[in-house]
Amino acid sequence: MILDFHDSFRDKAEVKATRLLVCDNFNNPLALFVENEVSIITCYTAGDANFIKMLEDYGIKAPNIRKINLGG
């Protein structure tokens, strides 16, 4: 997969990646994208029941993993 991201729309960067972890400003994981095979990308989000287990399965041990409330 190719990541296209910006820093306040000033500095643009594109990089190739096979795994992307998205966290909030408090370092809480929100989403994990994993490219398992060519053109097959799986997304796990904090709203998924097995999200913390999926993070652990991929070797991610974020310091502030805790259940968060998504939505209004």
Helices marked H in the chain: 51-57
Contact criterion met (CB below 8 Å) for 43 and 31: yes
pLDDT for position 63: 60
pLDDT for position 22: 94
The residue among 51, 48, 17 whose CA lies nearest residue 35 is 17
The answer, as to whether pTM is greater than 0.85, is no
Phi, psi for 53 (deg, rounded to 5): -65, -40
Interval 10-65: pLDDT, tens: 888 899 999 999 998 888 899 999 998 878 999 999 999 989 889 999 998 866 55
pLDDT for position 57: 92
pLDDT for position 72: 60
Domain segments of the chain: what residues?
Answer: 2-57
Structure tokens at 30: 């929100």
